[in-house]
Amino acid sequence: MLGASGYAGAIAAMLVHRHPFFELAHVTARSEAGSRLDDIHPRTRVPLELESWDPDAQSDVDAALVCWPHRVAAPAVAALRERGVRVVDLSADFRLRDRGIYEDWYGPHGAPALFGQGVYGLPELHRDAIAGADLVANPGCYPTAALLALAPLARAGLIGDVVIDAKSGVSGAGREPTSATHFISADENMTPYKVDRHRHTPEIEQELAGLGAPVTITFTPHLVPLAQGELVSCYVTPARGAGPDEVAQLYDDAYAREPWVELRNGPPGVLEVRDTNYCRISVHADPRTGRILAFASIDNLWKGAASQALQNLALMFGRDEREGLA
- Only segment of 74-82, 84-92, 114-122, 293-301 that touches a copy of itself (CB under 8 A): 293-301
Q: Is 279 a catalytic residue?
A: no
Q: Looking at beta carbons only, is 34 or 183 nearer to a copy of itself?
A: 183
- Minimum Å gap between C-beta 236 and a copy of itself is 10
Does 275 bind a copy of itself (CB under 8 A)? Our answer is yes
Query: Which residues does 245 contact at the CB level (< 8 Å), separation at least 6?
Result: none
- Only segment of 50-58, 116-124, 158-166, 238-246 that touches a copy of itself (CB under 8 A): 158-166
- Minimum Å gap between C-beta 9 and a copy of itself is 14
For a copy of itself, the binding residues in 65-104 under the rule CB under 8 A are none
- 3-state SS, 273-294, equals HCCCCCEEEEEEECCCCCCEEE
Q: How far is CA 166 from CA 141, 233, 255, in A?
A: 10, 6, 22
3-state secondary structure of 216: coil
Q: Give dist(CA 149, CA 166) in Å, integer.
A: 12
Q: Looking at beta carbons only, is 129 or 163 nearer to a copy of itself?
A: 163
Amino acid (one-letter) located at 66: V
Q: Cα 148 from chain centroid?
A: 11
For a copy of itself, the binding residues in 12-41 under the rule CB under 8 A are 18
Beta bridge partners of 281: 263, 296
Q: Looking at beta carbons only, is 139 or 221 nearer to a copy of itself?
A: 221
Contact residue for a copy of itself among 60, 84, 289, 320 (CB under 8 A): 289
Q: Give dist(CA 312, CA 310) in Å, integer.
A: 5
User: Torsion over CA of 135, 122, 27 and 69, rounded to 10 degrees?
Assistant: 80
Contact residue for a copy of itself among 222, 263, 317, 319 (CB under 8 A): 222
Q: Looking at beta carbons only, is 129 or 293 nearer to a copy of itself?
A: 293
- Minimum Å gap between C-beta 303 and a copy of itself is 15
User: Annotated catalytic sites, by residue?
Assistant: 141
